[in-house]
Amino acid sequence: MFLRSHLRDGGHVPASVQPYFFLSYAHTPRFGAGGPDPDMWVERLFRDLSSHVMALTDLPAGSDAGFMDREIRSGEGWSERLGAALATCRVFVPLFSPRYFASEMCGKEWFAFAQRAIAQGAERDEPANAIVPALWVPVPPSQLPGPAERLQFNHNTFGDRYVTDGLYGLIKLRGYAEEYERAVYELAKRIVRVAESVRLDSSRPLDYRVVPSAFGSPGGSARSLQVTVAAATRHDLPEGRSPEYYGETALDWNPYHPASRRPVAYVAEELVRNLNYRTTVASFDDEAGHFDSKQPPTRPEILIVDRWAVTDEHRRQRLAAFDQEPRPWVSVVVPWNRYDHQSRAKENELVHTLEDTMPVKMGQGRAACRAAANGVPNLEALGQILPQVVEAAAQQYLRHAQVYPPAGGAHTERPRLLGPMGMSGPPGPPPPRAPFPPDAHSDTGSGSGTGTGTRTEATTDTDRGDTDDSQS
């Protein structure tokens, strides 16, 4: 009761109830009523890990070495307890398995924890990765969603048998008891080493029930999205505007300075990648001459706009022209730092100028999109609202994108069963078509502004029947 009331009042969780690590795993259903609980092996692993962590640290007796969400999802206060643990634990330990990446709840846990690391990385401009994965059941690399695939982690140090069979295989087979003990001890050492080196700060708990999954839609592959920034540079600022928020290019714009030390383009990129998207980052000044509204879109897009950017007449005209072309798959986000005294002093003027320049985009979309266009005050708010804006842009993209028949040559009719009288029934529907072209484009980008490798994009997502964002 104390924990729930404390969170409801907006306070932080006391250190005495902050777990050292959070064990995230996919619950395995029972085969029949009264049968053995398949999750008892995970519980044993949790106890063994907790024991090792206590021995390797100076945690006081009685403190929570670890947390696992054993049978609390249907109980009173389960969301608050999960939210508190994810907001305060020092290390996140996902148990990889095919079932894990098919679990929306596990994806939510991953997303909530990763948001903390992204925010701290922006504030300090240094990596804050405190995710230590463990193989419960080996998963082929091709089946890993983007957030898991990008983890730099060497499982080989835990032993060859661990890599081939996972902890589940080691714990189930008596002949591998020694290999199991070694793997668990090495995992505990890795947890402690990461906790001590990263020192991840606690944060305000998220509402676990409404956060999205870091794995995207169930069974869906990573999709692509572009983050475009329309901002000034140090070289074209209006008279009197401080250059401390700007750099050599628009991608260097850091509206949340000094609270954030990382440009907003790359913070947004990390947040989008945490939703299992592959991203590109571009400047509006570089891309504006290449837009062609007559062509079908190739990906959804987030346009991040600096209100000061419209003080440049040439850029303002290009933004106005962009606004007049129908592009509902592009959602606008306007970062706005109220601790920036120059921006506060000219707020009314800048707001009206941007609204006059882009009246369509500023009023387009569902409530979250309009709120994002009206001003996002800080990094925490950006992390909360961006997933909703991305979802809106993605749905509009699926509605307007050109579809392509599946690759494989000439069209073949779907097989049909013969009726009871030996007569074939009516032809079946044509094969589903994907909204991505057969030769998908390449994506580049990273949280530090450097490129990543190319990747073929595909998705099986379909239009969910939402009303057009311009009318919702």
- What was the pLDDT predicted at 167? 96
- What was the pLDDT predicted at 80? 86
Q: Please, where are the H alpha helices in 177-222? A: 177-198
- What was the pLDDT predicted at 345? 94
Q: Provide the whole-model pTM.
A: 0.80
At 92 the three-state DSSP class reads: strand
Whole-angstrom CA distances from 320 to 38, 230, 389, 409 are 60, 12, 21, 43
Radius of gyration of the chain (CA): 25
* CA–CA distance, 394 with 222 (Å, rounded to integer): 12
- What was the pLDDT predicted at 342? 95
- What was the pLDDT predicted at 210? 84
Q: What distance lies between CA 103 and its chain's CA centroid?
A: 15
Strands, DSSP E only, in 125-197? 134-135
Contact between 445 and 412 under an 8 Å Cβ cutoff? The reply is: no
- What was the pLDDT predicted at 404? 55
- What was the pLDDT predicted at 297? 84
- What was the pLDDT predicted at 288? 57
Sign of CA dihedral 408, 410, 413, 415: negative
- What was the pLDDT predicted at 394? 94
pLDDT digits (tens), the chain, 472 positions = 223 333 333 444 444 458 999 999 998 876 655 556 778 999 999 999 999 999 999 999 888 899 998 755 555 677 888 899 999 999 999 999 999 999 999 999 999 999 999 999 999 988 899 999 999 999 998 899 999 999 988 888 899 999 999 999 999 988 999 999 999 999 999 999 999 999 999 999 988 778 999 998 765 566 899 999 999 999 999 988 999 999 999 999 999 999 999 999 999 999 999 999 999 999 999 875 455 656 778 899 999 999 999 999 999 999 999 999 989 999 999 999 989 999 999 999 999 999 999 999 999 888 999 999 999 999 999 999 999 999 999 999 999 887 655 555 545 454 444 333 333 344 444 444 445 444 343 343 433 333 333 333 333 333 333 444 444 3
Name the residue type at position 452: T
Query: Which residue is listed with tokens 């395995």?
Result: 28
At 352 the three-state DSSP class reads: helix
- What was the pLDDT predicted at 79? 82
Nearest residue to 81 (alpha-carbon basis) of 62, 102, 109, 57: 109
Q: Which residues contact 405 (CB under 8 A, 6 or more apart)?
A: 411, 431, 433
Contact between 176 and 170 under an 8 Å Cβ cutoff? The reply is: yes
- What was the pLDDT predicted at 74? 55
- What was the pLDDT predicted at 33? 56
- First-to-final CA distance of the chain: 39
| pLDDT tens string 138-195 | 999 889 999 999 998 888 889 999 999 999 999 998 899 999 999 999 999 999 999 9
At 190 the three-state DSSP class reads: helix
How many degrees, rounded to 5, is the angle at CA 311 between CA 309 and CA 312? 80
